[in-house]
Chain A
């Protein structure tokens, strides 16, 4: 009797599309939970309406961050939640993987959270997320027409992001 592990039973992960577009979708949140950007490249299944989806995602990451920080066995100091930290400093989770997708996460010291969902065979995407943060700084933060805290509506950022995401392995 085989309950787990048979690849005929569990759904196989989606094959990367012919255009090389391996990412499914991307979220950007700011410190207050406002969803600044939601971009979808390949998402066949929608379970919730957009507002619920964003709230769920933000809540999930907030809880995961506190959980991982509190459960850290190596850190002798008290928890340091809420203090701005560079990505990689302190204890912060950066990805989780299921059999159908991988979610990668990065939070900047200013509280901007980048979430990228890709196929499960993708490698470590921390450098990718850092590059996307650079794109954000260049085309959004330095854009005179953008008001911080609102939806990102910058054509240059969208084009650059699409191009870059297409090139991720």
Chain B
């Protein structure tokens, strides 16, 4: 339905958004930058979930809503579903995507042959930038769920690229 935009456009826009918030607006305050980026994601997720649940009946319980996020919502956004869903049946869900689209192109050279690139501080910086990029999808999930009536907190875990897990904790 409607018009389309090129994927490269979106990729570059997101990269620029993260870099602007981290390096220009909140240059030495990564916490504030992260919160702003997550808030933007919240708005986007809110509106997208409105769009994608237009013809559906209401969800009966939390698990149904999470399954919607894993299957239909993720397919609309990233053309694939969440690969693995785990829960502890007490309000915590772990959504694992083995090949998260927005992280597939990020990589750093960890071999020490290139001189200074092996320094731990540079690797830590790169990890920090990678985690900044994840605040936006976390916000999207949080916004989508809150629009479906489920307030929650979402965090991300990138122990092995390009797979990443989103941990959703539903507020009781």
Contact = CB atoms under 8 A, between A and B. Distances in A.
A binds B: yes
Interface of A: 138-139, 142-145, 151, 153-158
A143 B107 contact: yes
A144 B19 contact: yes
Contacts of A145: 106-108, 126, 129-130
B105 A138 contact: yes
B105 A139 contact: yes
A142 B105 contact: yes
User: What are the 7 A-B residue pairs with the smallest beta carbon separation, nearest first?
Assistant: A153-B109, A156-B107, A155-B107, A144-B15, A142-B105, A154-B107, A143-B105
A157 to B, nearest CB: 7
17 contacts: A138-B105, A139-B105, A139-B107, A142-B12, A142-B105, A144-B18, A144-B19, A144-B129, A145-B106, A145-B108, A145-B130, A153-B108, A153-B109, A154-B107, A155-B109, A156-B107, A158-B109
Interface residues of B, number: 18
Nearest to B108: A145
A155 B110 contact: yes
Nearest to A157: B107
Chain B contact residues: helix, strand, loop or mixed: helix
B117 interface: yes
A133 to B, nearest CB: 15
Given A144-B18, A144-B133, A153 B105 contact: no
Interface of B: 8, 11-12, 15, 18-19, 105-110, 114, 117, 126, 129-130, 133
A151 B117 CA distance: 11
B106 A144 contact: yes
Pick from B109, B114, B117 the residue with the most CB of A within 10 Å.
B109
Given A144-B19, A151-B114, 7 more contacts: A139-B107, A143-B106, A144-B129, A155-B110, A156-B105, A156-B107, A158-B109
Contacts of A155: 107-110
Identify which of B15, B107, B129, B133 gathers the most chain A CB atoms within 10 Å of its CB.
Answer: B107
Contacts of B110: 155
Contacts of B129: 144-145
Given A144-B19, A144-B129, A145-B130, A154 B11 contact: no
A145 B23 CA distance: 13
B74 to A, nearest CB: 21
Given A151-B114, A153-B114, A153-B117, A142 B108 contact: no
Contacts of A139: 105, 107
